Amino acid sequence: MAYTNHYQLADDVIAHLNTIVPTITNPFLVSRYAGFVTVVSVTVYELAIKEIFIDFGEKKHKVLGEFTRGYFDRINGRIRINTIRNDYIPRFGEKYVKRFNKKIKKAEEQGLRNLRISISANYGNIITWRNDFAHEGVVPATVTYGEVAQAYEYGKEVIKCLAETMRY
């Protein structure tokens, strides 16, 4: 299965909520929906990341595929960029770390130049907001539902960089 297929879950939820949230006048309820979007976003990011590494391992060698499947079965939301860069990718070789860094840098520069956004910051924010919501029941008061939904979209670029990196 393609890693992008995992996005459908979050994409469908966000598309549905985009029709409902603008009609809601209760800010508390809107913040709950924003929190829910952070949870579903990080879930699909995690599934996509697992898929990328497992596919890579299986295509390299059957034994590596089995190891990769077992190893990534336990990442449990540990998907920050630094974790991917410093813990996961180095297990496959330094050339992949260099490739990932190059791709992230290029995507970051394009995001800043073309959209005036940081893909890395948006990706990191979604994870932070998810942790705050899942563990404390709060979404930062300064974040809107729309910003959460948009950060999810921008964060997909980090996963794309990883997918492009983990090609043999």
In 3D space, the residue among 76, 100, 80 whose CA is nearest the CA of residue 90 turns out to be 100
Instruction: Tell me what pLDDT residue 162 has.
Output: 98
Domain region containing 47: 3-165
Furthest-apart CA atoms within the chain: distance in Å: 54
Give the mean pLDDT of 142-164.
Answer: 96
In 3D space, the residue among 82, 85, 118 whose CA is nearest the CA of residue 99 turns out to be 85
Taking the alpha carbons at both ends of the chain, their separation in whole angstroms is: 17
Global pTM value: 0.93
Q: What is the pLDDT of residues 33-86, one digit of tens each?
A: 999 999 999 999 999 999 999 999 999 898 988 899 888 988 888 999 999 999
Report residue 146 CA to chain centroid gap: 17
As for how many domains the chain has, the answer is 1
Percent of the chain exceeding pLDDT 70 equals 99
Q: What is the pLDDT of residues 14-27, one digit of tens each?
A: 999 999 999 999 99
HSE of 70 in the Cβ direction (CA atoms, 13 Å)? 6
Token couple for 164: 């492009």
Residue 3: CB atoms within 10 Å? 22
Q: Is pLDDT of 161 > 90?
A: yes
